[in-house]
Amino acid sequence: MPKTQKDFNDYNTEVKPTWCPGCGDFGIWTALRMAIADLGWEPHDFLVVYGIGCSGNMANFVKSYGFHGLHGRALPVAIGAKLANQDLKIIVLGGDGDGYGEGGNHFIHALRGNVDITYIVHDNQVYGLTKGQMSPTTEQGQPTSSTPEGVIEQPINPVALAVAAGGTFVAQGFAGDTLQLRELIKQAIAHPGFAHVNVLQPCVTFNHHNTFSWFMKRVYKLEPGKYESGNKLKAFEKALEWGEKIPTGIIYQEIRHTYEQDVSELKKQSLLRQALKKIDISKTLAKFS
């Protein structure tokens, strides 16, 4: 239950967003603040770790503890923070280039490890901050500033990849539907383990193919009760839908031990609350003398 009634504007800073007018990032920013307000969090209750990219600019626009990481390295920072302080609520925000390109290796192993953090990815199918180069999710054949004759490679499917790599909460939202995204973020935060939310986020400046109208003709909601999010085979089927039909909602969810639960040093209390012990390392040093 919320501790106090909050308004999503309580998490604004004095800095105004600098995204392009109409950018899908505005929808994600709004949904995130609405979800946090629903939970009644104070700004000191949570940490947001940001990757590099247009999504990372949100570090200036959300009032909370924040860390702006290196390109592709937001997840290791967040995991380290969570292992140090299990009581801290941690959200990670990044883009498709940041998270699935430079950070692709970290993404796969974070899914395997199942550390209790929430990862929200702004997936606009381009590198927006650096002027529209192809990203790992750009559709094959699409011209970009780095591929003027069209992308040669097949795009990765982050949702299918997350299910295959052992994700315990895999969801997909749309930046044009802030109300659904708000609920998905709350469900992701409530999930005990690594929660991945891929957000279809139109880039109005550099991606004139995957536009708001393009998505609105294709996205549809998975209805709880009619769709079994605990069935991995059905999750793969939904994850592979792209083109004429694109599902949004919780694609897959299961409960298993988090990484923190199985680390012996963390079973009693967070590292943050443990007293430092004097350790005699003389025998170890002697081996190298």
What is the pTM (predicted TM-score) of this model? 0.92
CB atoms under 10 Å from CB of 141, counted, come to 11
**What is the tens place of the pLDDT at every residue in 199-217?**
999 999 999 999 999 999 9
Q: Average model confidence (pLDDT) for the chain?
A: 93
Q: What is the pLDDT of residue 3?
A: 60
Q: What percent of the chain is predicted at pLDDT more than 70?
A: 99
* Residues 6+ positions from 190 with CB-CB distance below 8 Å: none
* Model confidence pLDDT, tens digit, residues 1-36: 446 679 999 999 999 999 999 999 999 999 999 999
Give the chain's radius of gyration (CA, Å): 20
- The closest alpha carbon to 75, from 159, 191, 195, 183, belongs to 195
Q: Which residues of the chain have pLDDT under 50?
A: 1-2
Token reading at 284: 């170890």
198, β-bridge pairs:
121, 172
> pLDDT tens, 273-283?
887 777 788 88
Q: Are 126 and 183 in contact (CB under 8 A)?
A: no
Domains and CATH numbers, the chain: 8-286 (3.40.50.970)
Rounded distance, CA 98 to CA 58, Å?
14
Query: From CA 204, how far away is CA 191, in angstroms rounded?
Result: 32
Distance CA 173, CA 32 (A): 12
